[in-house]
Amino acid sequence: MQAIVILDFGAQYSQLIARRLRALHVYCELLPFDAPQAEIEKLSPRALILSGGPNSVYDPGAPALPAYVLASGLPVLGICYGMQLIAQALHGVVHRADRREYGPATITVGGPSALFHGVPPALNVWMSHGDSVERLPDGFATLAQSPNTPFAAIGDAARRIYGVQFHPEVTHTEHGLDILRNFVYDVCGVSPNWVPANIIEESIAQVRAQTGPQGRVLCALSGGVDSAVTATLIGRAIGERLTCFFVDHGLLRQNEGDEAMALFTEHLDLNVVRVNAGERFLSKLAGVSDPERKRKIIGEEFIRVFEEEAKALGPFEFLAQGTLYPDVIESAGQGKKDAARIKSHHNVGGLPARMDFTLVEPLKRLFKDEVRAIGRTLGLPERWVNRQPFPGPGLAVRIIGPVTREATETLQAADAIVRQEIDAVPDVQRRLWQYFAVLTPVQTVGVMGDGRTYANLVAVRAVASEDGMTANWAHLPHDLLARISARIVNEVPGVNRVVYDISSKPPATIEWE
Ligand code: XMP
């Protein structure tokens, strides 16, 4: 696959550059600026992109431009700090500024250039820089300017070296994607072949190469999209030599265990062992109210089940993990270059720290949206691909107070109503990150028919969020809330009152525990 290498000089937006190129169906990797040259060469890059960064090129110890970049003869695009590095290396002049230019600016595009082909002559871009280029290196022309930045974009078409002072990767820059597209397709001549069918084919070949003709792989399915796609890719590669297991800890949403099994075995044709461990988890959780203890118990119990299954179904040489590219970038960025260590599994609460497995990680070059696209191509139904995040400890952290079978069933019934009603209004559903019910131990007085009731309070939670780090409570239509409330009180025994949670994160968290 033709690759573009992005060298990361520490910008806030480096990962975004990679995501934009992937959106253009171009394979790229983001590597630290000081990654060994051999590592870059292994990728046989078709072009190099230099990210921005917080430094001034004059700072002592500022990240330097590796000599191979300009010596390679490859097309180069420098963004912000990356452009300044190019100017400095080629004997232009970079002006040291004492004030940063931060925010929107309007640039005027000069004459015709490959970089701005088809882009309007004036556009709003996003600037975030201190220093700027003051004199161009020989051979360079000004491609765009702004009132504050005379060299907002520069280029040497003959050597295919370009620089932009603004950030084409952020959405605030109009036509930013067009500028990147012009660079990768027209300047570099790279074709958009990073598409699901090719990614699948390549991943399958890699899994086959890694596992050899005999290697057996174990994969724990969580019910989420990452592990389902991981298992499906490996299953297509090695068939019977993959064994999956799915731990039903009894704290899944209504019918979720059965639905997950039907998906795995009928639609994805996987060999899956279901471990019904509900009783086991419930007995460990008996009488426990503290949220952190609940999480710990569930995490530890999962490890127990995992070890037992690995032993019973094994031996296995390989363990499948749904590691995604952002995890790999993060570990490389922290100087921990060995991304192939077992990281704690978000979905299940942590696998044993020391295990004698080699990891198979077919998603480790993919972003989440690419995993979803591949999932669709592999035949995962849309509702699975777009499934809302679900915490590993499941409903245990949505039952406030001790977890019992009765409480779990009550919550499952209320939660199913919340999901059915919201799913029935796709315009609302699309805007939400998560929506669910929470069972509280608060009992309140109510009246039903002619009788008094004294039953539990259910809270409904619906939030909008980009990544779960912050979230806003959703302004659900009142008639929708009314339907949810009426149905829960009428259909779920043991609940006589429903409240809507109007707290955002921060200061609240998304889950109640
Ligand atoms: P909070 O409640 O911290 O949740 O705002 C942020 C996101 O993380 C999910 N979450 C978890 N996921 N194991 C998980 O796999 C957990 O223990 C856990 N706790 C919270 C939560 O659903 C939300 O998407």
Block mean pLDDT (10 aa), the chain, length 513? 94 91 96 96 97 94 96 98 97 88 94 96 95 96 95 98 97 96 98 96 97 96 93 97 96 96 91 96 97 93 90 93 87 47 37 76 94 95 90 96 98 98 97 97 94 97 91 97 98 98 96 96
Q: From atom 19 of ligand 1, which residue's Cα is the shortest distance away?
A: 391
pLDDT at 345: 34
CA distances from 40 to 34, 122, 359 (A): 10, 36, 23
pLDDT at 120: 97
- The best mutation among 295, 511, 512 to test binding of ligand 1, ranked by most ligand atoms within 8 Å of the C-beta, falls on 511
Instruction: Tell me if residue 240 is catalytic.
Output: no
Q: Check 25, 29, 129, 167 and give the catalytic one.
A: 167
Structure-block tokens of residue 464: 């909008």
Query: Among 303, 322, 320, 316, which residue's Cα sits nearest to residue 356?
Result: 316
Q: Check 29, 169, 309, 370 and give the catalytic one.
A: 169
Centre a 10 Å sphere on the Cβ of residue 24 and count the other Cβ atoms it contains.
18
- Cβ distance 217 to 320 under 8 Å? yes
pLDDT at 343: 28
Instruction: Tell me if residue 175 is catalytic.
Output: no
* Residues in Cβ contact with 345 at an 8 Å cutoff, skipping those fewer than 6 apart: 220, 222, 321, 351, 392
pLDDT at 347: 39
Q: From atom 21 of ligand 1, which residue's Cα is the shortest distance away?
A: 391
CA distances from 78 to 49, 85, 117, 246, 489 (A): 6, 8, 18, 47, 60
- Cβ distance 452 to 475 under 8 Å? no
Q: Is 60 exposed, middle or buried (0-12, 13-18, 19+ CB in 10 A)?
A: exposed
* Cis previous bond, 32, omega within 30: no
Q: Which residue shows structure tokens 């990147």?
A: 180
Position in ligand 1 atom list of the atom nearest CA 511: 2
Distance 19 CA to ligand 1 centre (A): 24
Ligand 1 close to Cβ of residue 291 (< 6 A):
no
Position in ligand 1 atom list of the atom nearest CA 390: 22
* Residues in Cβ contact with 135 at an 8 Å cutoff, skipping those fewer than 6 apart: 92, 93
Instruction: Tell me if residue 169 is catalytic.
Output: yes
pLDDT at 344: 32
pLDDT at 336: 35
- Cβ distance 153 to 146 under 8 Å? no
